Amino acid sequence: MALKFASRLLVVGTLCATLLACGSDQPTLSPLPTGATILAFGDSLTKGTGASSTQSYPAILSRLTGRDVVNAGIPGELSGDGLKRLPTVLAATKPQLMILCHGGNDMLRKKDLSDAANNIESMIGIAQAQGVEVMLIGVPKPGLFLGTADLYPNIANAAGIPAEHNVLADILSEPHLKSDPIHPNGQGYERMAEAIVAVLQKSGAL
């Protein structure tokens, strides 16, 4: 009797685990080999404006993950210019994963956000067409009350890719974590890198 009861518990437990796995909508990434290259692509938030080069989030991410992280951030770049630049960067770096953080300058310059969304979607598509997986970083809209622009979760959901939507808004809401109104300081970039690592771990990349 005890053996039958134990067997039933095992079956029920297995079914529950299977249902939970099937019901999870958490996007996944392929595990990153030790020698993998990660491409950090974006603007000044990727470059690390407001901190030293060793305090940028890509530099900290490299130390935290033990992987080579290429910092391909250009301050002031609009998403349309990033879209034009991306193919050359992908060809030169041959990454396994791209962390995309773009569109902030479009919002600062009050550009059409539908164009920015299309540009970001196109960047994701270009990378994926070359077998490069993508993680997206949400950027907050400028304003008194910071909140990530809706276009980022919409894009991530549509593309089925992992994303970190809150960390930049949280950092820029804390005076001690930023160097100016729109850029983190070294401590802020460290917080950003740690949040990215958490997403990569949850998605199975690390």
Helix (H) or strand (E) holding 164: strand 163-164
Please state, as a whole number, how many other Cβ atoms lie within 10 Å of the Cβ of residue 86.
22
Contact 93, 39 (CB under 8 A): yes
CA–CA separation, 59 vs 189, rounded Å? 9
pLDDT in tens, the chain (206 residues): 433 333 343 333 433 433 333 334 679 999 999 999 999 999 999 999 999 999 999 999 999 999 999 999 999 999 999 999 999 999 999 999 999 999 999 999 999 999 999 999 999 999 999 999 999 999 998 876 678 999 999 999 999 999 999 999 999 999 999 999 999 999 999 999 999 999 999 999 99
Question: Which one, of 19, 203, 183, lies nearest residue 104 by Cα?
Answer: 183
pLDDT confidence of residue 163: 97
- What is this structure's pTM? 0.86
H helix runs in the chain, sequence order = 2-23, 44-47, 57-65, 79-93, 104-108, 113-129, 151-159, 167-172, 186-203
Alpha carbon dihedral 86, 90, 96, 102, in 10-degree steps, equals -20
State which amino acid sits at residue 120: I
pLDDT confidence of residue 144: 62
Structure tokens at 118: 């299309």
pLDDT confidence of residue 143: 72
> Domains in the chain, please, with CATH?
41-203 (3.40.50.1110)
The CA angle 104-108-111, to the nearest 5 degrees, is 90
Cβ-in-10-Å burial (0-12, 13-18, 19+) of 11 comes to exposed
Please state, as a whole number, how many other Cβ atoms lie within 10 Å of the Cβ of residue 30.
13
Question: Which one, of 88, 77, 84, lies nearest residue 39 by Cα?
Answer: 88
